[in-house]
Amino acid sequence: MVRYDIKCLRCGEKLPVKTWVWRHDRDNGTLSITYRGLEKHELSELLLKEYMDIRRYINILPVSLKYLNIAPIGFTPIINKKFRGVSVFFKLDYLLPSGSFKDRGALVSIAKAKELRIKRIIEDSSGNAGVAFSLYSLLYNIEANIFIPADAPSGKKALLKSLNARLHEVQGSREEVNRAAIDFEHRSRGAYVGHWWNPFFIEGVKTLAYEIHEQLGLDKVDSIIVPTSSGSLLLGVFKGIMELKSMGEISNIPKLIAVQASGYARLCYELGYGMGAEKSKLADGLRIIEPPRIGEMVLAIRETKGTCYHVTDEEVTEGLKKLWSMGFLVEPTSAVVYAALKKAISEKVVEKGENIVIILTGSGAKMLDKVLSIIRT
Amino acid sequence: MVRYDIKCLRCGEKLPVKTWVWRHDRDNGTLSITYRGLEKHELSELLLKEYMDIRRYINILPVSLKYLNIAPIGFTPIINKKFRGVSVFFKLDYLLPSGSFKDRGALVSIAKAKELRIKRIIEDSSGNAGVAFSLYSLLYNIEANIFIPADAPSGKKALLKSLNARLHEVQGSREEVNRAAIDFEHRSRGAYVGHWWNPFFIEGVKTLAYEIHEQLGLDKVDSIIVPTSSGSLLLGVFKGIMELKSMGEISNIPKLIAVQASGYARLCYELGYGMGAEKSKLADGLRIIEPPRIGEMVLAIRETKGTCYHVTDEEVTEGLKKLWSMGFLVEPTSAVVYAALKKAISEKVVEKGENIVIILTGSGAKMLDKVLSIIRT
């Protein structure tokens, strides 16, 4: 493993690597993991080529092989389709074990927690992140405490319970749920792994960029469309790309095109594209207003010369129908990418003959009734 | 690609390779595909190592690369757990795009159909095979005609329709549904791809054995537990193993341990273990009485010194709870493997210190309500 540091992005201070840290308490800064002297390495010498899963990348992950051996996932397929003269590569990350890309971040976070002998984790999410953290807690024999709004759908609660999660139902707003989870960390001596903050989560997600590079070659990818709310996907993909760049493995940097739910498009707003008038009901995985890493997200778009789109429920419905008709059995939240593709082509952000990657983030299987009712409208 | 022949297993006659064939009409024999001079090759020279998906094996598949490029799936993860002194490797084939191992067979069948310029396929299944064939038909832009019993659950019909399948509802027994599908082939000039018969399906499934070999090394695998009904999984895994053996790539042959649903255990019966008294209601994917390839299935068990178990609904329920509690979100049909593992250990078919592979065949996500209601009993 390449040695790494954990730094506060606000003040630059280094934090300890042998205890669990998820933010810099003193100044509320977000944390980032950096590998020492990465620019002196070549990717091919760092890869563990005997593995066709996330263990290939163990040398550039902040956890030891022993702890990834417990649940070595990864390498989701890519399927290529032509669309209006553009070559679109769909990355099927909804095929990971819990049904979303969040498995990558949850796995690396939980593996790290296990390595640090942590017995209890705390997360606030009733959605894909909650399911992913519950699943890897099961696989690693760690107690998962999941904080959710009291009015979360009963189906989601049943699924989390079936994965043996301890549910903590909180009356109040999403922010109050978040505060209750963080309070519980102090009281319970558990580790708060919330994916809005936790830097290990981003390390897991970055493997998506490494896989895309190994499967396609990032130098020939012009843009990547990324559904975005708290930023863990956007920042993970960005970090992977920048690491590959620093190793000299790629010279091109693909544009990152973020897509957000209308009414909750905080990143778009920050970039000057507005929030979107309509408040989305369908893209429920993307409804976060105050992502702690918003500054980093803005940087990822600017550095890659990318852009940001917000998408209405009508566009989500059209996208969901279109993606299912192409054979991609995704959930509504993932379907925002289709409208983004159309907008990017019509605004010439994406041009004919270009190669574009679309990350399909979440499976429709676990909410089949809802998906089928939307498709049949 | 290594050149191949299609032979009738009853009379040995070679059939044409440039038209769609699925049985030998003259004598009703099942067909098998064999590669010429495979014993003169080494696996490493046949692999396309730049691909981490089914295209790695293109040289030992009966279809050209161009047609696998359309939907290159494969390489599902393996997760290792200890159980009563045995090292169990779970192969997560339920993570394939349609949610079951049947994707492997459906993909190769549909890719071949596309190569042969077939525009319409016919299959009889309302279960995982129907979903898989509908999905790959979508991906390959082929018309899928799916014959199902008129009393199939409405949820399954809705899913198949959402995948754009043409549903043909047939009053009567499963055998009558099968006959109606085969009749339709003659009337419609489509290709009957039924997985009980179609030899391309087995070619797709055999990639499971190749993957297990590349991920673990088959020489250190003592047994493989295989849920079995029509035999496509058992025969696919067996064929992969025998090909690897003929290439000199492995010297050991793992025991194949088939598991069937109680009351429908035709293979167990044939081997002298009885059918099972109770008629299973839960393991609905395994309820086939007259598999056309029963003779080949018996041979696969005998040649590998394997065995066969039948499993009751009570055991399926226990297995489902146990597998979910380990983090494997499978469907009830897949859960038969747990009882088989326990039986194999108690009968010393599997001994302490051995390595055993368990194939997890189908996802519980698409029937989440049903699964959760069983788990909570």
pLDDT, tens digit, for every residue of A11-27? Answer: 999 999 999 999 999 99
For residue A260, what is the DSSP state? E
| Shared-domain flag, residues A153 and A116 | yes
Q: Which of B159, B164, B376 minimises the CB distance to A325?
A: B164
- Binned at pLDDT 50, 70 and 90, residue B355 comes out as very high
A107 and A232 belong to one structural domain: no
Q: Span B75-86, mean pLDDT?
A: 96
- Dist. CA B256–CA B302, nearest whole Å: 9
C-alpha radius of gyration, chain B, whole number: 19
- Please report whether residue B153 resides in a domain: yes
Query: Does A52 contact B215 at a Cβ distance shorter than 8 Å?
Result: yes
- pLDDT given for residue B174 in this prediction: 81
pLDDT (tens digit, 9 = 90+) per residue, A89-114? Answer: 999 999 999 999 999 999 999 999 99
**Model pTM?**
0.97
Is residue B219 domain-shared with residue B178, that is, in the same domain? no
pLDDT score at B175: 83
Evaluate whether residue A213 is within a structural domain: yes
- To test the contact with chain A by mutation, choose from B52, B78, B323, B372 the residue with the greatest count of A C-beta atoms within 10 A, namely B52
The answer to whether residues B129 and B84 belong to one domain is no
The Cβ-side half-sphere exposure at B158, using a 13 Å CA radius, reads: 16
Whether residue B342 has pLDDT greater than 80: yes
A164 shares a domain with A87: no
CB contact under 8 Å between B325 and A138, yes or no, is yes
Distances (CA, A) of A362 to A100, A207, A227, A267, A301: 4, 17, 10, 21, 22
Q: Name chain A contacts of B74, Cβ cutoff 8 Å.
A: 77
Tell me the pLDDT tens digit for each residue of B292-325.
999 999 999 999 999 999 999 999 999 999 999 9
* pLDDT on residue A345: 98
Distance CA A30, CA A8 (A): 6
Q: Closest partner residue to A372 among B71, B77, B158, by Cβ?
A: B158
Among A158, A174, A192, the domain boundary falls at A192
**Three-state DSSP class for residue A265:** coil
CATH code, domain with B340: 3.40.50.1100
Confidence of residue A287 (pLDDT cuts 50, 70, 90): confident
Q: Would you state the pLDDT for residue B181?
A: 96
Asked if residue B273 and residue B160 are part of one domain, the reply reads: no
**Pairing mode, strands B86-92 and B191-192:** unpaired
Any residues with CB less than 8 A from the CB of B65 and at least 6 apart, and which? B48, B55, B58
The verdict on B327 touching A (C-beta cutoff 8 Å) is: yes
In chain B, whose CA is at the least distance from the CA of A369?
B155
Q: Which residues of B touch A334 (CB under 8 A)?
A: none
Q: What span, in angstroms and rounded, lies between the C-alpha atoms of B273 and B269? A: 5
- For residue A269, the distance in angstroms to the closest alpha carbon of chain B comes to 35
pLDDT value at residue B167? 96
User: β-strand A78-83 against A86-92: which pairing, if any?
Assistant: antiparallel
CB B93 within 8 A of CB B208: yes
Of A69, A99, A369, the CB nearest to B365: A99
Average pLDDT over residues A301-313: 97
**Best of A160, A329, A334 to mutate (most B CBs within 10 Å, chain B):** A329
Q: What is the model's pLDDT at position A218?
A: 98
Residues in B closer than 8 angstroms to A165, CB to CB, are none
B62 and B84 housed in the same domain? no
Q: How confident is the model at residue B220 (pLDDT cuts 50, 70, 90)?
A: very high
Instruction: Pull the structure tokens for residue B269.
Output: 């019966």
Query: Residues near B187 by Cβ (< 8 Å), separated by ≥ 6?
Result: none
In percent, the amount of chain B with pLDDT more than 90 equals: 89
Interstrand relation of B255-261 and B223-227 (parallel, antiparallel or unpaired): parallel
| CA–CA dist B189, A101 (Å, integer) | 42
On the 0-12 / 13-18 / 19+ scale of CB atoms within 10 A, B371 is buried
Which pLDDT band holds residue B41 (cuts at 50, 70, 90)?
Answer: very high
Same domain for B239 and B338, yes or no, is yes
Whether residue A106 is found in the same domain as residue A180: yes
Contacts of A52 in chain B (CB under 8 A): 52, 75, 214-215
Of the residues B183, B199, B215, which one is the last residue of a structural domain? B199
Cα separation, B232 vs B133, in Å, equals 14
Where residue B80 falls among pLDDT bands split at 50, 70, 90? Answer: very high
Would A73 be classed as within a structural domain? no
Q: A285 pLDDT band (50/70/90 cuts)?
A: confident
- From B199, B223, B238, the end of a domain falls on B199
pLDDT level of residue A376 (50, 70, 90 thresholds): confident
Q: Is the pLDDT of residue B285 over 80?
A: no
ipTM, 2 dp: 0.95
What would the pLDDT profile of B127-148 be if each residue is shown by its tens digit? 899 999 999 999 999 999 999 9
Measure CA B247 to chain center: 23
At residue A153, the pLDDT reads 83
- pLDDT-derived band at B238, boundaries 50, 70, 90: very high
pLDDT band for B155, please (50, 70, 90 cuts). Answer: confident
Q: For residues A309 and A265, give the distance between their C-alpha atoms in angstroms, rounded to a whole number.
A: 8
Angle at CA of residue B129, ends A377 and B290, nearest 5°: 135
Contact present, A259 and A225 (Cβ < 8 Å): yes
Residue in A97, A158, A215 closest to B92 by CB: A97
Quick check: helix, strand or coil at residue A29?
strand
Same-domain status, B120 and B43: no
Mean pLDDT of chain A: 95
Q: Do B79 and A72 touch (CB under 8 A)?
A: yes
State the count of interchain CB pairs (< 8 A) between A and B. Answer: 107
Kindly state whether residue B337 falls inside one of the protein's structural domains.
yes
Res A155: pLDDT: 84
> What is the predicted pLDDT for the residue at A289?
73
pLDDT band, very low/low/confident/very high, at A125 (cuts 50, 70, 90): confident
Q: What six digits make up the tokens of B371? A: 């699964």
Q: What is the mean pLDDT of chain B?
A: 95
Check if A38 contacts B (Cβ < 8 Å): no
Average pLDDT over residues B256-272: 96
Contact B278/A at CB under 8 A: no
* A376 chain-B contacts, CB cut-off 8 A: 158, 162
Between residues A290 and A293, the one the model is more confident about: A293
Chain A residue closest to B137 (CA)?
A327
* Chain A residues in contact with B368 (beta carbon < 8 A): 155, 159, 365-366, 368
**pLDDT attached to residue A228:** 96
Do the domain assignments include residue B73?
A: no
Q: Count CA atoms closer than 13 A to B349's CA, side-chain side.
A: 22
Identity at B117, one-letter amino acid code: R
Residue B300 lies in a domain: yes
**A371-to-A183, A311, A376 alpha-carbon distances in Å:** 36, 18, 9
Residue B85's alpha-carbon distances to B186, B347, B350, B353, in angstroms, are 54, 14, 10, 6
* Cα B76 from Cα B95, distance rounded (Å): 7
Q: For residue B368, give the nearest of A70, A159, A372 by CB distance.
A: A159
The number of domains in chain B is 3
Query: By CB neighbour count within 10 A (0-12 exposed, 13-18 middle, 19+ buried), where does A14 fall?
Result: exposed
Residue B286: pLDDT band (50, 70, 90) is: confident
Whether residue B287 lies inside any domain: the answer is: yes
In a domain, A96, yes or no: yes
User: Is the same domain home to B187 and B264?
Assistant: no
- Chain A: closest CA distance from residue B349 (Å): 26
pLDDT of A288 over the 90 cut: no
A173 pLDDT tier (thresholds 50, 70, 90): confident
Question: Chain centroid to CA A212: how far?
Answer: 15
Residue A238 shares a structural domain with residue A353:
yes
Q: Which residues constitute the domain of residue B31?
A: 4-68
Give the whole-angstrom CA distance, residue A195 versus residue A104: 11
Q: What is the pLDDT of residue B376?
A: 82
> HEC string of chain B?
CCCEEEEECCCCCEECCCCCCCCECCCCECEEEEECCHHHCCHHHHCCCCCCCHHHHHHHCCCCHHHHCCCCCCCCCEEEEEECCEEEEEEEHHHCCCCECHHHHHHHHHHHHHHCCCCEEEEECCCHHHHHHHHHHHHHCCEEEEEEECCCCHHHHHHHHHCCCEEEEECCCHHHHHHHHHHHHHHHCCEECCCCCCHHHHHHHCHHHHHHHHHHCHHHCCEEEEECCCCHHHHHHHHHHHHHHHCCCCCCCCEEEEEEECCCCHHHHHCCCCCCCCCCCCCHHHCCCCCCCHHHHHHHHHHCCCEEEEECHHHHHHHHHHHHHCCCCECHHHHHHHHHHHHHHHCCCCCCCCEEEEEECEECHHHHHHHHHHHCC
Query: Residue B173 — pLDDT band, cuts 50, 70, 90?
Result: confident
